[in-house]
Structure 1
Amino acid sequence: MALFIPRFRSRSGLAKAAVVTAALTMVTFLPSAAGQGQNPEGPPQSGPAEVLPLENVVPGMQATAWTAFVGTTPEPIPVEVIGVLRNTWGPGQHIILAKLGGKAARTNVAGGMSGSPVYHDGKLLGAVSLRFSTFSPDAVAGITPIDLMLEINEFDAGRPIDTKIAGDSKGASAGSLALASPKPVAGKLGLAERVWNASTAELPAGSYMMPIETPLTFSGMEPAVVDAFAGFFRESGVRVMQGGAVGTSAGSSRVTGAGALNPGEPVAAVLISGDSSATALGTVTYNDGKRVLAFGHPMFNMGPIEMPMATADVLTVLASAFRPVKFANSAEIVGALRQDRHSGIMGVLGENATMIPVRVKVKSFGEHDALIHQKELRFNVFQNQKWTPPLMMMTVFNSMFGLNDYALESTFRLKGSIELQGDQTIDLQTMQAETGTPIPAPMALAGWVGDKFNTLFRNSGEFPVFESVNVSIELLPQRRHALIEQASVDQRELRPGDTVTGKVVLRPYRGQSLTESFSVTVPPNAQKGVLRLLVSDAVTLDRSRKFAVDRNRLLNLTETVAALNREPVNNRLYATLLQQSPTAHLDDKTLPNIPLSVLTVMRTSSRGRIVIEGHSVLAQTSMDFDWIVSGSHSITLRVK
């Protein structure tokens, strides 16, 4: 029976494979002495290696793969070549099909084996990177030829058109930036909704050659948190599991990384470090003493990246015909990953990767504001426009999880800040309680934080460089949600300069009604006529402006920060005087009292980015409220 092997589309701009003109070719990224290389009597070592050209690979050829089953020392695996699958990964990208023996025959092709180097007669053939289907009785694997992996080095200074690199703001005009700006992949769904929806979906396993799942190992995370995010990560081809922590603080590594990550040894990509950690596990394919190749397939296929690279220690390999996997602890950071490409990942020993320092303080209060419990957690999260938002959400969610004081009737109050390079700050303030939806309040609150990062990364101007994130979360003992029931004022006939005083009645989730006083002053230049006093929550007040901002993808970083800081807060009560004259919301700008002639011109030139309201804000006041406010009430006033 013939095997069905779908063709994988290759990345655009893939360099042509180097032509191998000799049976033995010396491969090296950096100049090295020719006397160094592989030890035929033991595990392979770092240094230049001889390459076996793909044209010399024939069915029945016997080879040896190296991978760690316990600890860090690679063990040999007998390999029998079945044949070469032509154009399996795209035009000119062939895959070697092979059957593994030895211990791998029992464990099957396990997650974490990605990148295990394969040698024939001392010559490097490629890396174990693919597996065939699930429930297969044979350990059939796909091997990525080494020449495909060596192409990664050619991209080290490259940049895909749709990827922004931290610290790189050169070489793009406003027009080109607009084209490169990433489009939202989830429509109007927030990050919490995307994570929740993914947690209930299982991706079916197909009967074809697929990249070996990358084990994404979490430590310091509650099992329920890991399970909640498992579906979200599974959509990117990674399998989440519990494991051990990174031993060295992110941002620091060995001075040279010398002696680390020999071929066949486990390697970990560090996504989160600190009180909680997340690492992606694979195996080193090649190490020239400075640069390291691993995996043999993409980790997340992100192109240029900046992520800490660490050693790892394998505890065991779980044998399974369904999803075999390595269990491992990450150990010491020894360098930084720089490329995540179609045929593997590449890192540099001794270099540092800048991460985002995050501090989360959590306090729980009882009746009469009595402090019951508090803790402080510190993390480092790697910077990437796709992965930073969900990882930030996950760390915040995990910080709130497992609190004995939490109950369905609780409310979370969050305050904090996001500090960006260039003295730019985003202030964070919100409250969250259970709303009756399937998404729990802690996840909804963490998703709100993650969405701020999504918005920052979507700016069209430059990659945001984060200096720090500080969040304070307080757990309050009751469900603090209040609905605006009615509002009244002491007088409806006013003169310019008068102050309107009034009261608003709010109906809490449970308990007696709450009455609050407010006042707002009519501007001295107010014209005679009818005004409308709107007593409202943040959503009602901000609907049109937010719609205009969401429609526009041309905001630069400074404008995006300003737009985020102008967002109303859900635990604040707003009293707004409105007059009947149009307001235009264009990009991040609010333009009140626009003449109709100007409005007509703006509609023509704005290309659909303008949102019009039939009123303009004349005056506004707000008051902090220790409840989540919802609803609105309108009162008609007259200026004499």
Structure 2
Amino acid sequence: MSDARSAPRRRLGWLAGATTFLLLASMLAAGPAPALTPCTSPPATISQAKLTPGTLGTGLTTLDGTTPVPFDFEVVGTIPDGWMLGLDAIVIHVTGPSSFLDATGGVFFGMSGSPTYVNGKLAGAVSGVFWDDPTFGVLTPAKAMLEVLESAQGSPLSLARTIRPTEEVRRAMARELRVAPSEVTGTFQQLPTPLGVAGLPPAKVRELQARLDERGENFFVYSGSAARASASAVTPIPFAPGEPLGAAISYGDASLYATGTATFTCGDYVVAFGHPFFWDAPGEVSLGLAGAEGLMLVKGGQGLWPGYRFALLTEPRGTVTQDRFAGIAGVVGQEPSAVPVRSHLMSRDSGARRAGLTEAIHTWGWWLEYIVWGHLWLNYSAVLGHYPAEGTADLAWTISGTTAEGPFTISNHWMTYSEWDATDVIWRLLSAIDVLQFNDLEDVTFTGISTHGTITKDELVGEMTRLRVASTSQPDLRSRATLLARPGDVVTVQALLDLAEGGTQAITASFRVPRGTSGDHRIVVRGGKERGLWEDFSSFDDLVRTLNGGEHPDDLVIAGLGRTRLRPQDLLIEGRDAFRLRIVR
């Protein structure tokens, strides 16, 4: 199945959320997904009441590769309602083994969801860290993790962004650190969520980071690698507790994904992360559920940032279907819905061609637009052999989808020249997606987006300098201020353009004077005008007609007695000219 529903009927743009510092998750947003059957054979858990200060336990997490390793911890205390009302924060001190601390420095990005045990029973999942000393962390209680599998949705709430230790916890931490309680001044924080993006250069990574920061999100964006697997190629491999787990917003050329750690499995279900992906915990979601492999781990330490694990996705294993305050849940073996984004692009300069494919899985809100932009920007870069700069690009597209009334198709094209980035042409397609995504008339289900286009370093622009005109009654084609014609005559117009790259080009068009026409008419010859796409539409059919029509900057338009349009001209037409058409009898 390949589809994705549109966002709710309000413009959300870049979704505003909390700037929470949560251990490794990725960005999620709400969207419909199959309801989960609650787990009927959960792992044995230890009562939270028994997790008193001094209680010793062990945990499992993965540093590199896919094999979990153990770590030791001691319970420091509990902060009631630390994360939110009804969700306590259990403070732990990671005490060993020494090889683990030497490699990690303590709790690290990517450790989210790592299961912890006391006397062989599940105590909770790692979900937070003490920033000043990452050997101190926070657990989400096991009972809350089990409730993640329940399908009932609650009212949106907000998690705390920081947690101040209670005085009891502060004194216990001071004893562990062998310092005075007054020296324990920090807070427990939810770490930035690492978000891997494929192929983007540092400047584009910084742009995405800045936009997310502006919206109050708190994500750590980094350059990852493309996940080449297909959403339809699901391999139902179960997860082991402590194993790396990936959640994919998209697969393919423009992959976006995060990795965390599996807490426990139950039948075909897996629960992970110990905290939500998205900070209002929307409930039902849809993401790709994938295996992951640790590539490297950068050590953290006291007075430093916590460490972080870089990991890559391996095989797709199913679908993430639940996003709750205490964690996420996925179904192993369930194929996620995906919108295929295809492209066939060519460089006019070298002749290089590339057929690209990205599968957009999480498409709610602005995500589909961002995935489409990333896919096309990367593929234009690939045929150029370098990142886009000055030049001209054209792009044609077909957007397929359905509403309650049936299927629809949007087909159009655009062409732009830019001194800075020729791929600005992509924004016209994104505007069309935006109009469909946030229209107030029909809920839209996207089923596919296909594109083809070209790019060149050249400035494919022609400036209109003069006109030559003729009619059946005055057949000599030349410059005239006034052209005589009779009803039924064919009028010929030739526009002469000076090309930005040198030389001239003539474009010839003709139209017939309607019978019954009389008087004088001003005929304007110009390039196509850009039309804004956001307006009040009378119906969804009206919206579709608008997105399928309109003038284009590579059109030659003759207006004044009806309208004649030639397209495309393979260059941008600038300027305008006019002549008087006098009807004689």
Match for residue 196 of structure 2? 217
Matches within 5 A, 1:249-260: 249-254=230-235, 257=236, 260=238
Residue 30 of structure 1 deviates from its aligned partner by: 3.1
Per-residue deviation, residues 168-205 of structure 1 (Å, max 9, x unmatched): xxxxxxxxxxxxxxxxxxxxxxxxxxxxxxxxxxxxxx
Amino acid at match of 1:355: A
The secondary structure found in structure 2 opposite 1:539 is coil
Structure 1 pair 313–433 and aligned structure 2 pair: CA distance change class (3 A)? same
**Mapped partners of 1:147, 1:213: distance in 2:** 25
Is 1:472 matched up with 2:452? yes
3-state SS of paired residue (1:311): strand
Q: Which residue of 2 aligns with 1:413?
A: 394
Q: C-alpha separation between the residues in 2 aligned to 1:405 and 1:212?
A: 34
Q: Which runs of 5+ in 1 are unaligned?
A: 9-27, 33-47, 161-206, 579-617
Name the structure 2 match of 1:107. 105
Give the superposition deviation at 1:567.
Answer: 3.1
Larger RCO: 1 or 2 (CA < 8 Å, sep 6+): 2
Distance 1:523 1:156 in 2: 67
Q: Is residue 288 of structure 1 aligned with residue 288 of structure 2?
A: no
1:142 aligned partner? 138
Contact 1:410–1:476, Cα closer than 8 Å, also in 2: yes
Q: CA RMSD in A?
A: 3.5
Q: How much has 1:458 moved relative to structure 2? A: 1.2
Q: Deviations over 1:226-265 (max 9, x none)?
A: 55544445664333334455464212313xx35x112211
CA drift of 1:282 comes to: 0.9
TM-score by length of 2: 0.74
The answer for the alignment partner of 1:269 in structure 2 is: 247
Aligned mates of 1:159, 1:88 — CA distance in 2: 18
TM-score, structure 1 as length reference? 0.68
Counterpart code for 2:46: L
Partner deviation per Cα, 1:376-422 (whole Å, 9 max, x = no partner): 22222214132111011111111111523888553222223223245
CA contact (8 A) 2:201 2:223 kept: no
Q: Which residue of 2 aligns with 1:431?
A: 415
Do 2:412 and 2:547's aligned partners in 1 also have CA atoms closer than 8 Å? no
Cα offset, 1:90, TM superposition: 3.4
Is residue 79 from structure 1 mapped to residue 88 from structure 2 by the alignment? no
Post-superposition shift, 1:353? 0.5
Q: Aligned pair in 2 of structure 1 residues 577, 553: CA closer, same or farther (>3 Å)?
A: closer
Residue identity opposite 1:376 in structure 2: A
How much does 1:337 deviate?
1.0
Structure 1 residues 6 and 95 mapped into 2: Cα distance closer, same or farther (>3 Å)?
farther
Q: Who is 2:218 aligned against? A: 237
Picking from 552, 565, 572, the partner of 2:548 is 565
Read off the aligned partner of 1:284 and give its amino acid letter. A
1:454 maps onto 2:434 in alignment: yes
- Comparing 103-112 with 290-299, which one deviates more in the overlay? 103-112
Judged with a 3 Å threshold, the aligned counterparts in structure 2 of structure 1 residues 400 and 245 are, in CA distance, closer, same or farther, namely: closer
Alignment length (residue pairs): 496
Q: Provide Cα deviations, 1:133-160, integer angstroms capped at 9, x if missing partner.
A: 4xx2343323223344444434467999
Task: Note the C-alpha offset of 1:126.
Answer: 2.3
- Distance in 2 (CA, whole Å) between partners of 1:519 and 1:529 is 20
Mapped to 2, the partners of 1:423 and 1:114 lie a distance apart of 42
After the TM superposition, which of the residue ranges 494-503 and 352-361 deviates more from structure 2? 494-503
Distance of 1:86 and 1:242 partners within structure 2: 38
Change (3 A) 1:144 1:494: farther
SS in 2 for 1:563: helix
- Residue of structure 1 equivalent to 2:324: 341
2:247 and 2:258 in contact (8 A); partners too: yes
Q: Is the 8 A contact 2:89 2:138 kept in 1?
A: yes
Q: Does the aligned pair in 1 maintain the 2:339–2:447 contact within 8 Å?
A: yes
Q: CA deviation at 1:268?
A: 0.5
- Quote the Cα distance in structure 1 between the aligned partners of 2:86 and 2:116: 21
Q: Is the 8 A contact 2:253 2:378 kept in 1?
A: no
Indicate whether 1:537 and 2:520 are aligned: no
Distance 1:554 1:359, change over 3 A: same
The match for 2:354 among 349, 360, 375 is 375
Matches within 5 A, 1:308-347: 308-320=288-300, 321-322=304-305, 324-347=307-330
- Alpha-carbon distance in 2 for matches of 1:59, 1:638: 97
CA distance in 2, matches of 1:29, 1:430: 49
Note if contact 2:390-2:419 (Cα within 8 Å) is conserved in structure 1: no
Deviations 1:536-557 (A, max 9, x none): 33335x3xxx3xx52438864x
Q: Which runs of 5+ in 2 are unaligned?
A: 1-17, 22-36, 157-185, 471-481
> What is the CA–CA distance in structure 1 between the aligned matches of 2:220 and 2:353, rounded to whole Å?
32
1:575 CA displacement? 1.7
Structure 1 letter corresponding to 2:510: S
Whether 2:38 is the aligned partner of 1:29: answer yes
Cα distance in 2 for residues equivalent to 1:510 and 1:381: 39
Distance in structure 1 (CA, Å) of the matches to 2:361 and 2:123: 33
Give the C-alpha shift of residue 634 in structure 1. 5.3
The 1:275/1:538 distance shift into structure 2, 3 A limit, reads same
SS of 2:376's equivalent in the other structure is helix
Counterpart for residue 13 of structure 2: none
Aligned partner of 2:161 in structure 1 is none
SS at match of 2:529: helix
8 A contact 1:215–1:326 mirrored in 2: no
* In structure 2, distance between residues paired with 1:245 and 1:639: 64
- Rounded to whole Å, the distance in 1 between the matches of 2:433 and 2:231 is 20
Cα pair distance change 1:506/1:157, threshold 3 Å: farther
Match of 2:5 in 1: none
User: Judging changes above 3 Å, is the alpha-carbon distance between structure 1 residues 125 and 504 closer, same or farther for their aligned structure 2 residues?
Assistant: same
Q: Distance in 2 between matches of 1:568 and 1:269?
A: 41
1:595 corresponds to: none
Whole-Å separation in 2 of the counterparts to 1:457 and 1:550 = 12
The residue type paired with residue 537 of structure 1 is G
Distance 1:497 1:339, change over 3 A: farther
2:363 maps to 1:384: yes
**Contact 1:414 1:471 survives alignment (8 Å):** yes
User: Is 1:502 the counterpart of 2:498 in the alignment?
Assistant: no
* Cα distance in 2 for residues equivalent to 1:68 and 1:6: 26
1:49 aligned to 39, 43, 52, which one? 43
Amino acid at match of 1:332: E
C-alpha deviation, 1:331, in angstroms: 1.4
Change (3 A) 1:476 1:435: closer
Return the offset for 1:287: 1.5
